[in-house]
Chain A
Amino acid sequence: MYLNIKGIRMKKIKGIMGCLLLLTLAACNKEISNNNGFTPYANNPLNDTVWITNIPGDAPIYKLADTICHNNIIVDTFDLAKGKVLNFGDSLEIEIHPNSFFVGTGNPGSGGGTATDGKATIEILRIQTRGDFIKAYRPNNSFGSLLETASGFFIRIEKNGQELMLLPDSTLKIKYSDIQDPVANMQVFYGRETFPFPNGALDDAHTWVRDQDTSWIKTFVKQSGNSYKKGYELVAKRLRWISAERYLDSTVAKTNIYAILPPNYTNKNTQVFVAFDKNRTVLALNSDISTRSFTTKNIPLKAKITLVAISKIGDDFYLGTKVVNDVGTVINYSITPEKKTLGQILDYINSL
């Protein structure tokens, strides 16, 4: 039964409408766009999330260390046969005794040799603040034991391009004013290094070794006008890395801490330090491949610390920080570095 409308049967109309409906439905295009594909660059360092056991010498962290390392080195000359007292302002005085040096293998512990004379060049790098120790990649620990520093020095004497060593029983007296009032129980520590010396600033083997003479470093107070100069008189028996350190209280309960960073930050491109708030102590966290994290031990409980992560990925620098007011039950800290300029990173490090 179909309705006739001017000769057009309702069946025909239905058929037409059906076709139109199909066409309309077909015209409705639900697809707007296809899924976007993403292909990571194969050799881009940002995409390198692999942790490795043996970090190669060309890894970004070495370049990072060289980039942020100190370059304010004091350079002077003296006569090896006569010796000299070098004054660098009011805060640093180095007394060099005559005929105290020899040309050795360069290894500070290699013992005696032939004395030499003539003109020599002395290079001095002062590391006083926490930031200085970070920039110099010389954390304040001695085989895992925490140290508190009262400044350190890198002293290198060269003659004709050859590095000289102190003769046995010869000393080098360093009289300096510290940024803090001197304390009585500081001891002389020497830096243990990889040998031959690494070309770069970063030395994984570095640790501070206490001098066999464990006597405390002398302090002085000298009036200068209306003020007083305070400092230490450090007698060094070896060159290169020298510092005034003391062990932190070993009776305080300690714990391990872990710094966890996003996958882009690996042990190839990132170095993490912890700076103590109360003490002038800086530690470098070691990479833990099993947990893909950076860790260190012997952190005193309830210590206030600042975690500093410095990364170099490609040509970009990243800085991540985390202030921990009370090291306690939570020992893992997530750090999310942000891209920074080198100047921004150095400013922050110097402020520690």
Chain B
Amino acid sequence: MTDNQFDNFFREKLSNHTAPVPEGLWEKIRPEKEKRPKGFFLRKINGTGLLLAALLVGSVIIGLLIYPHTSSVPATDAALNTSKTNATTINQSTNKITGNNSTLNSTPNQPSVSKDVKIEIADEKTNTNISAEKAISANQQPAANDVRVLNTASSVNTKEDPFKSFFIQEQTQLKDYPETELEGNNYVSANIQQASLFYQPESVNSTTGLVQKNLASNGHDKFIKSSIIICPTNRGRSNFNTDWSFEVFASPDYGFKSVSNVSASQQYLDKKDSTESMQIGYSAGFRIVKPLNNNWLLKTGLQYSQINQKFSYRNENEIKTTTVITTRSIVRSPGDTVIVTDTSTLRQIGYSVKTIRNHYRSIDIPLTLGYQFGNEDLTIGINAGVVFNITSWYQGELLDTSLTSVPMSKISNSYYRSNIGMGLYSSISVLKRINENTHLFFEPYFRYNLSNMTNTASPYNQRFQVGGLAIGLRFDLNR
């Protein structure tokens, strides 16, 4: 028996055999860079959902003309998807396929890939022949999500769309996939773009060559010849983005104090204002970031904030007592001198400038919704939300209504509340990727507290608005 006979034997026996791919296999063999969300704004908005897609579909078409970027097509094997350009040429070649179903390659000088050509893709256990369309489709969309692309894309194209028949055909051939898998949102835009790119007449000649290049350069082509690839499904799962991130941050803050009079005298308010000056405070905390899709983020966490305030109080007529030890030589009688040491106290009157750093501390839970866009290296986000105060406590001194400095802790129960309620939060974040899973971010923010920190017993109302610059790290987890 020759090698061919042996191969033919197994090929015939296993021609209709299918074997499911273990769940997670595709995720593992996907190149890391393909796992990261890519693209610019117009490609990112794929994930915003059907509503956003509907709103933007018109502009996307125009946008695609403006941004004729190539898309990164996920591939089963790195060799099958070596570059974005290759992915584009695949689509362009597919355009040609629509014109002639039997031939993928319309360019004479390029190797053709016939629909009937058996492309052998096999894993260690199987060796199955599949049609060219499926093979191509498998190469282009090796995962379940990728299959969804085709379905969504076909629904977007018009009847006159020369690719519609292709997509329909593809969908028909792939109809054994659950429909839920074919409606994933995450890749809608990409396929729209891909579909739009089908109109691009350029690089047609290179299409088939690319396909063949991809196939030929497949590092597994010796044993992955042909197979019906059953991609891992999301059956039983939500199509919600399963990624999440963790942020730690610290921020220099500056509090803006606003005081309004209730029952205090103007003299008291003036004195209070003159004794207090705001200083740099800080916040620190962590946040869990849950991407709802490629653009929208939900963040929550825990943060500690400390507003610092310089309290300078001039205390008049203060008596300072100093212990003084004096040594004297006294004459008891002529020729009899005695050294006398005496301990006494020196009293001095003056003023003291009491400088105390007041601390207004709080522990809060932020809950923000953010929208971010950009490329893989630099992302800009806009966040807004609320901050719930868990507890607040204070340390330092302040003036009471008799213009006397009193410890803040003693009257904290009568002047300041232990919970300052809710605040509004807004920020703009700039994220810079510093390694594979870590981003450095800068997030200038402003917090507007909705309620006063003082209670009804206070002769004035006071609240702080806080601005700061959060600097931190975002760790991409569960990717």
A residues lining the B interface (CB < 8 Å): 6-8, 12, 15-16, 19-20, 23-24, 26-27, 29, 31-41, 44, 46-47, 49, 255-256, 258, 260-264, 291-293, 295, 331-332, 334, 336
Judge whether A31 and B354 touch: CB under 8 Å.
Answer: no
Interface residues of B in 327-341 (CB under 8 A from A): 328-333, 338, 340
Judge whether A36 and B355 touch: CB under 8 Å.
Answer: yes
B250: A residues at CB distance < 8 A: 23, 26
4 additional contacts (CB under 8 A) given A36-B354, A260-B328: A46-B349, A260-B344, A293-B330, A332-B342
Judge whether A41 and B349 touch: CB under 8 Å.
Answer: yes
The answer for the CA separation of A24 and B250 in the assembled complex, in Å, is: 10
Judge whether A26 and B284 touch: CB under 8 Å.
Answer: yes
The answer for the CA separation of A49 and B347 in the assembled complex, in Å, is: 10
Q: How far is the CB of A19 from chain B (nearest CB, A)?
A: 4
The answer for the CA separation of A33 and B310 in the assembled complex, in Å, is: 9
Interface residues of B in 281-323 (CB under 8 A from A): 282, 284-286, 304, 306, 318, 320
Instruction: State whether the Cβ of B177 lies closer than 8 Å to any Cβ in chain A.
Output: no
Judge whether A19 and B326 touch: CB under 8 Å.
Answer: no
Instruction: State whether the Cβ of B149 lies closer than 8 Å to any Cβ in chain A.
Output: no
A7: B residues at CB distance < 8 A: 477-479
The answer for the CA separation of A24 and B302 in the assembled complex, in Å, is: 12
Judge whether B477 and A37 touch: CB under 8 Å.
Answer: no
The 3 closest A-B pairs by CB, nearest first: A40-B350, A262-B344, A23-B284
Judge whether A26 and B282 touch: CB under 8 Å.
Answer: yes
- Which of A33, A331, A336 interacts with B330 by CB under 8 Å? A331
Interface SS majority for chain A: mixed
Interface residues of B in 10-44 (CB under 8 A from A): none
B353: A residues at CB distance < 8 A: 36-37, 39
- Which of B330, B338, B340, B347 interacts with A264 by CB under 8 Å? B347
Using CB atoms, name the residue of chain B closest to A45: B349
CB within 8 Å: A-B pair count: 126
Instruction: State whether the Cβ of B456 lies closer than 8 Å to any Cβ in chain A.
Output: no
29 A–B pairs (Cβ distance < 8 Å), ordered by A:
A6-B478, A7-B478, A8-B477, A12-B437, A12-B477, A15-B475, A16-B246, A19-B473, A26-B284, A32-B356, A32-B396, A33-B355, A36-B352, A36-B355, A38-B320, A41-B349, A41-B351, A44-B349, A47-B349, A256-B333, A260-B328, A260-B344, A261-B344, A262-B324, A262-B347, A295-B330, A331-B332, A334-B344, A336-B345
Q: How far is the CB of A35 from chain B (nearest CB, A)?
A: 8
B275: A residues at CB distance < 8 A: none
B346: A residues at CB distance < 8 A: 49, 262-264
**Which of A15, A39, A293, A334 gathers the greatest number of chain B CB atoms within 10 Å?**
A39
Instruction: State whether the Cβ of B359 lies closer than 8 Å to any Cβ in chain A.
Output: yes
- Which of A16, A35, A47, A261 interacts with B248 by CB under 8 Å? A16
Q: How far is the CB of A38 from chain B (nearest CB, A)?
A: 5
The answer for the CA separation of A203 and B197 in the assembled complex, in Å, is: 117
Chain B 91-129: CB-based contact to A (< 8 A → 1; otherwise 0) = 000000000000000000000000000000000000000
- Which of B338, B347, B477 interacts with A332 by CB under 8 Å? B338
Q: How far is the CB of A253 from chain B (nearest CB, A)?
A: 9
The answer for the CA separation of A243 and B479 in the assembled complex, in Å, is: 112
B347: A residues at CB distance < 8 A: 46, 262, 264
Judge whether A336 and B349 touch: CB under 8 Å.
Answer: no
Q: A26-B250, A26-B282, A40-B350 are in contact. Are A255 and B342 (CB under 8 A)?
A: no
- Which of A6, A255, A262 interacts with B333 by CB under 8 Å? A255
Instruction: State whether the Cβ of B395 lies closer than 8 Å to any Cβ in chain A.
Output: yes
The answer for the CA separation of A33 and B354 in the assembled complex, in Å, is: 9
Instruction: State whether the Cβ of B261 lies closer than 8 Å to any Cβ in chain A.
Output: no
Judge whether B340 and A332 touch: CB under 8 Å.
Answer: yes
The answer for the CA separation of A59 and B93 in the assembled complex, in Å, is: 113
Using CB atoms, name the residue of chain A closest to B353: A37
Judge whether B248 and A20 touch: CB under 8 Å.
Answer: yes
Q: A19-B473, A256-B332 are in contact. Are A39 and B355 (CB under 8 A)?
A: no
